[in-house]
Amino acid sequence: MNLGIIGCGAIGTDVAKVADTLDEIQNIFLYDIDKARANDLKKLLKKAVVETFNEFIKKVDVVFEAASQKAVEDYAEEILQNGVDLIIMSIGSLFNDKFLLKLEDIARKKKCKIYLPSGAVCGIDGVLSASIDTIDEVTLVTTKSPKSLGKSYYKRTVIFEGNAREAVKRFPQNINVAASLSLAGVGFDRTNVKIVADPVATRISHKILAHGKFGRLRAEVENMPNPNNPKSSYMASLSAIATLKRIINPIQIGA
């Protein structure tokens, strides 16, 4: 299998390093808007080459996106039109319902898959299962240090409270977990989100609360920040790697 990576930041680097060790992956094609970053990552790998998107799209079986919502908007349609599977980390890009439906329609016609990793949260599989029947309410409470949010606060402060659609618009680099949760459960407009900046927080906390016909769900994780990017949880990288391995592995685990 040949893998294309768009975005050679912290998560893209973590995925590329593991992909480089997998026998099932023959070649890794790296692309970043900052070519120097892609070249720096290439030096750490054995199987990688740096190419533009247009150069590698005809050569790959799967593309892993770890760049930005704009990158998804710019490249997702063409990736799918080429019949190539796509792993999206910038899941907040899918808050636009028309865009989401368009990608889904292309994927169906071209017989390819769009993979959305759970990211930095746990409990997504439970919400997904519960959504088969009725879910009455879903809430996500995210607590981060002000630094990881690019803010400056000296006391615990609620900086956002509203629905997931507005949250991913206002915090595109910080709250992709809200998009994952929305798509697994009751949608962007009905998923409640609270974002808290806490100056004493040393870990990134995500708490999911849901109830419905299935019963009640409470899932909480306290993540270490990615050492190369404090805005991202290290768990997000691990989730991305797990998704890549799931594509390769014949045994599928989870709802």
Distance separating alpha carbons of residues 11 and 121, to the nearest angstrom: 15
Confidence check: pLDDT of 231 > 80: no
Distance separating alpha carbons of residues 156 and 153, to the nearest angstrom: 7
pTM: 0.94
Boundary (domain end) residue, out of 89, 116, 143: 116
Is 206 marked active-site?
yes
Q: What is the pLDDT of residue 141?
A: 97
CB atoms inside a 10 Å sphere around CB 114: 17
Give domain status of residue 243, yes or no.
no
Residues 142 and 87 in one domain: no
Domain that holds residue 153: 124-231
Residues 112 and 128 in one domain: no
Pick the catalytic residue: 206, 212, 240, 244?
206
Boundary (domain end) residue, out of 94, 116, 138: 116
Residues 107-147 pLDDT 10s: 999 999 999 999 989 999 999 999 999 999 999 999 999 98
Residues 112 and 6 in one domain: yes
Residues 226 and 160 in one domain: yes
Pair of tokens at residue 42: 């290439």
Give domain status of residue 77, yes or no.
yes
Q: What is the pLDDT of residue 179?
A: 95
Give domain status of residue 146, yes or no.
yes
Residues 9 and 84 in one domain: yes
Confidence check: pLDDT of 204 > 80: yes
Q: How many domains does the chain have?
A: 2
| Inter-residue contact 181 to 91 (CB < 8 Å) | no
Distance separating alpha carbons of residues 133 and 199, to the nearest angstrom: 39
Helix (H, G, I), strand (E, B) or coil at 234: helix
Q: What is the mean pLDDT of residues 12-37?
A: 98
Residues 150 and 108 in one domain: no
Give domain status of residue 227, yes or no.
yes
Residues 85 and 133 in one domain: no
Query: What's the mean per-residue pLDDT of the chain?
Result: 95
Residues 24 and 51 in one domain: yes
Sign of the Cα torsion 242, 169, 130, 214 reads: positive
Q: Which of 79, 47, 89, 209 has the alpha carbon at shortest distance from 142?
A: 209
Give domain status of residue 246, yes or no.
no
Confidence check: pLDDT of 225 > 90: no
Q: What is the pLDDT of residue 44?
A: 98
Q: Which of 52, 54, 57, 44 has the alpha carbon at shortest distance from 14?
A: 44
Residues 7 and 110 in one domain: yes
CATH number of the domain encompassing residue 193: 3.30.360.10
CATH number of the domain encompassing residue 7: 3.40.50.720
Pair of tokens at residue 245: 């391995």
Q: What is the pLDDT of residue 6?
A: 98
Give domain status of residue 244, yes or no.
no
Give domain status of residue 238, yes or no.
no
Residues 84 and 152 in one domain: no
Ordered DSSP codes for 34-45: SHHHHHHHHTT-
Give domain status of residue 247, yes or no.
no
Q: How confident is the model at residue 196 (pLDDT cuts 50, 70, 90)?
A: very high
Residues 68 and 136 in one domain: no
Boundary (domain end) residue, out of 99, 116, 133: 116
Residues 25-65 pLDDT 10s: 999 999 999 999 999 999 999 999 999 999 999 999 999 99
Residues 19 and 103 in one domain: yes
